[in-house]
Amino acid sequence: MMEKFRLDGKMSMVTGGSKGIGFGIAKALAEAGSDIVLVARDKPNLERAREELAGTGRNIRTRSFNMSAVEGIDEMFDGVIKDTGGIDILVNNAGATRRGPAETITDEDWNLVLNLNVTAVFTLCRTFARERIKGGKKGKIIGISGITGF
């Protein structure tokens, strides 16, 4: 039964993939046979995650990038494509929240949450789709949300 879910020969990119849910998703994808590109801000966490996932026998790459820097997403993704030859599965997991009464949330906090949780996701999905369409290839996009999404 599990053979139906094998991802051998696939390349997956997981944003926010160095810890938590993103790391768990990256690990499951690697165990299913996919090579992985982990994207996250924190280089030490990325290196720790890469080392841990290396035990899966898959090719694990990392890209240190702050997904809230929307203006750099296309360039970051182009670098990943040059490095890997293409991404088959995109997992949008990076996200942020700011909790508190509305009157205490600053414009800066509000803009960070919208930028990372909405604009960055849209921008990366669009960039991924353009690359897949240009190459005449199919792809999968997986979006992760927390309870705040409700």
The answer to whether 16 touches 39, Cβ cutoff 8 Å, is: yes
The whole-number pLDDT of residue 106 equals 96
The whole-number pLDDT of residue 150 equals 58
Three-class SS string for the chain?
CHHHHCCCCCEEEEECCCCHHHHHHHHHHHHCCCEEEEEECCHHHHHHHHHHHHHHCCCEEEEECCCCCHHHHHHHHHHHHHHHCCCCEEEECCCCCCCCCHHHCCHHHHHHHHHHHHHHHHHHHHHHHHHHHHCCCCCEEEECCCHHHC
Residue 5 tokens read as: 């879910």
pLDDT digits (tens, 9 = 90+) for 66-104: 999 999 999 999 999 999 999 999 999 999 998 899 999
The whole-number pLDDT of residue 149 equals 58
* Amino acid residing at 47: E
Calculate the CA dihedral of residues 37, 14, 97, 113 and round it to 10 degrees: 80
The answer to whether 89 touches 140, Cβ cutoff 8 Å, is: yes
The whole-number pLDDT of residue 32 equals 97
pTM above 0.85, yes or no: yes
- Domains (range + CATH), the chain: 2-149 (3.40.50.720)
Mean pLDDT by 10 residues, the chain (150 residues): 85 97 97 98 97 96 97 98 97 93 94 95 98 97 80
The answer to whether 140 touches 90, Cβ cutoff 8 Å, is: yes
The whole-number pLDDT of residue 47 equals 97
